[in-house]
Chains A and B, each alone.
Chain A
């Protein structure tokens, strides 16, 4: 909590605003300086903070794995190689556990999802004011450092997964099979509209639940960090009440951060596992 001029509402709003690049009302292209401006940009705008952070994080762990993969030896592995191998085997085991088909893409997909989501979520553990303050000093008005608190990021991934699910459903069962799966069950061909409604919801629910689960968890977590940060922000001169609040902020931040380590990992794992499960369902014939 920094600026004296901010009210709590402004503080929260500021923290929840993405750095959006798009078409400004005056006709030029640039960065939105308020939530209203960002909203007015419509669809053709880019959340620079989400984009940059997810790109950096994805590139970082890809670079890490790639550097190991380049020098990988089947002999005695070093520490980094050990870690990467452990990660791969962990992912591979859990993919084998829930994916019964044969598809060389599912393993890498699961690995990418897990580490990408994990690293994006992990940004939540950075002290919430440091990055925005640093960015403010650099002249950047907003910077949301956790990409997975931006629904664009989570829905972006979920859409990717959804496309794969549809693609493999059609590839494995044929277009007729896929359509049949949507329309001919559970009530047979006379219940076609009802079937389509039920199965359609079932299908659409997959990406939406994936995206919203991750987004919701991370957004809520971030929100609680912000609220905890507000406690110490109420500082107004030395008094017992202020000191207590300040102390509580430290303790609560610590507690929540430790708890969040669990959530960060768990959400990444859930996103990965559900993706694998959905793809497994796409590969299997229904009865």
Chain B
């Protein structure tokens, strides 16, 4: 238990250990700790930002959805309107077409009637002439009695 040169050796050893600790232990580990602190802080900030972004995105998506719904409603309304119009137009066209067909048919019928009348008239006039010829017993001069005949024909 004497004080001797161990004292100096211990002091030197102590100084070396402190130096080593400062240079090779404390500095790198503290640097890592600081870096981790920063990382955690950054991570938290990122999370906060992400949360904010998410809120914004949710708001925007709701807005978009609402707009889309509105648009879809508009489109449907337009479609319905358009369909109504198309149907109306088709109806009008059909009516026109029908009328045209009817008119055509009528004209044809009239023509047919007229033709039949003509034919009938011709035949009636021929019959009338024949009948008259027989009654009179002689040939009717068609030329001479043309007026009469025409009158007759017109009467029939």
A residues sitting closer than 8 Å to B (CB atoms) are 16-18, 20, 22, 38-39, 41-47, 50-51, 54-55, 58, 62, 65-66, 68-70, 72-75, 84-85, 88-89, 92, 104-105, 107-109, 111-112, 116, 150-153, 155-157, 159-160, 163
Contact = CB atoms under 8 A, between A and B. Distances in A.
Main SS class of interface, A: helix
A65 B25 CA distance: 6
Contacts of A163: 11
Main SS class of interface, B: helix
B39 interface: yes
Contacts of B8: 156
B142 interface: no
Contacts of A41: 2, 4
A159 B11 contact: yes
A156 B32 contact: no
B4 A55 contact: no
Interface stretch (B14-22, B68-76, B84-92): B14-22
Nearest to A59: B17
A77 B36 CA distance: 10
14 contacts: A18-B6, A39-B2, A45-B4, A47-B4, A51-B9, A65-B21, A65-B25, A70-B28, A74-B36, A108-B22, A150-B6, A155-B3, A156-B8, A156-B14
B29 interface: yes
A45 B14 contact: no
B7 interface: yes
A114 to B, nearest CB: 11
A68 B7 contact: no
A74 B2 contact: no
Contacts of B24: 66, 69
Contacts of A68: 29
A43 B15 contact: no
Given A50-B6, A65-B25, A88-B26, A157 B32 contact: no
Given A16-B1, A112-B14, 19 more contacts: A17-B1, A44-B5, A47-B6, A50-B6, A51-B6, A51-B10, A62-B25, A66-B25, A69-B29, A72-B31, A104-B22, A105-B18, A108-B18, A108-B21, A108-B25, A112-B21, A152-B9, A153-B10, A155-B10
A151 B39 CA distance: 46
Given A85-B33, A89-B33, A62 B13 contact: no
Given A62-B21, A66-B25, A85-B33, A18 B14 contact: no
A151 B7 CA distance: 8
Nearest to B4: A45
Contacts of B10: 50-51, 54, 152-153, 155-157
Nearest to B26: A108
